[in-house]
Structure 1
Amino acid sequence: MARLQTLLHAHPTLGPLAVLVLAVALFSVLNPRFLAPANLSLVLAQVTVIAILALGQTLVILTAGIDLSVGAVAVFSSIVMADLATAVGLPGPAALLVGFALGTGMGFANGLLVTLLKLPPFIVTLGTLSIFFALNSVVSGGATVRGADMPSIMTWTGSTVSVGGFGLTLGSAIMLVLFACLAYALRSTAWGKHVYATGDDREAARLAGIRTDRVLLSVYAIAGALYAIGAWVLIGRLASASPNVGVEYNLDSITAVVLGGTSLFGGRGGVAGTLVGTLIVGVFRNGLQLAGVQVVWQGFAIGLLVLAAVAIDQWIRKVRA
Structure 2
Amino acid sequence: MTASPVSEKGRRGFVLPSLSVLGPLIALLLACIFFATQSDRFLTSQTLSLVLSQISFVAVIAIGQTLIILTAGIDLSCGFIMALGSIVMTKFAVDYGVPPALAILCGLAATTAIGALNGLLITRLRLPPFIATLGMLGIVQAITLIYSNSQTVSGLPNALNFLGSTFKIGGTPFTFGAVLMLVLFSVAWFFLTQTSPGRHLYALGNNPEAARLSGIATTRLLISVYATAGLLYGVAALILVGRVGAGDPNAGQTENLESITAVVLGGTSLFGGRGNVMGTLLGAVIVGVFRVGLTLSGVNSIYQVLITGILIILAVATDQFSRRKA
Q: TM range, normalised to the smaller chain?
A: over 0.9
Partner of residue 29 from structure 1, selected from 37, 40, 57 = 37
TM-score relative to the length of structure 1: 0.94
Candidates 118, 131, 137, aligned match of 1:129: 137
Structure 1: 5+ residue runs without aligned partners? 1-5
Q: CA deviation at 1:202?
A: 0.8
Aligned-pair Cα RMSD in Å: 1.6
Please name the residue that 1:97 is paired with. 105
Is 1:42 the counterpart of 2:54? The answer is: no
Q: Which residue of 1 aligns with 2:9?
A: none
| Distance in 2 of aligned mates of 1:140 and 1:132 | 12
Instruction: Give the CA deviation at 1:310.
Output: 0.9
Count of equivalent residues: 313
Q: Partner of 2:237 in structure 1?
A: 231
- Structure 1 residue aligned with 2:6: none
Gap runs ≥5 in structure 2: 1-14
SS at match of 2:120: helix
Q: Establish whether residue 113 from structure 1 lines up as the match of residue 121 from structure 2.
A: yes
Deviation at 1:32, TM superposition (A): 2.0
Q: Which moved more, 1:129-138 or 1:178-187?
A: 129-138
Once the two structures are superposed, the pairs formed by residues 100-249 of structure 1 within 5 Å of their partners are 100-146=108-154, 149-249=155-255
CA distance in 2, matches of 1:234, 1:164: 25
1:84 aligns with 2:92: yes
* Sequence identity percentage: 50
CA distance in 2, matches of 1:83, 1:248: 23
Listed one character per residue, the Cα deviations across residues 199-247 of structure 1 (whole Å, up to 9, x for unaligned) are 1111111112211111101110100000000000010111100111211
What does residue 316 of structure 1 align with?
Answer: 322
Q: CA deviation at 1:26?
A: 2.4
Give the match for residue 60 of structure 2: 52
Given that 1:38 and 1:165 are in contact with CA atoms closer than 8 Å, whether structure 2 keeps it comes out as: no
Partners of 1:51 and 1:228 in 2: CA distance:
13
> Could you tell me whether the CA contact under 8 Å between 2:168 and 2:174 is conserved in 1?
yes
Tell whether the 8 Å contact from 1:91 to 1:151 is kept in structure 2 after alignment: no
What residue identity is the alignment partner of 2:40? Answer: P
Query: 1:290 Cα deviation (Å)?
Result: 1.9
CA contact (8 A) 1:37 1:165 kept: no
Deviation at 1:134, TM superposition (A): 1.2
User: Aligned residue for 2:4?
Assistant: none
Structure with higher Rg: it is 2
Query: Greater CA deviation, 40-49 or 57-66?
Result: 40-49
Contact 1:53 1:230 in 2 (8 A): yes
| Aligned counterpart for 2:256 among listed residues 228, 250, 259 | 250
Larger deviation: 14-23 or 100-109?
14-23
* AA partner of residue 26 (structure 2): A
1:244 aligned partner, one-letter code:
N
C-alpha distance in structure 1 between counterparts of 2:306 and 2:183, whole Å: 32
**Given that residues 60 and 181 in structure 2 are in contact (C-alpha distance below 8 angstroms), is that contact kept between their aligned partners in structure 1?**
yes
Which secondary structure does the structure 1 equivalent of 2:167 belong to? strand
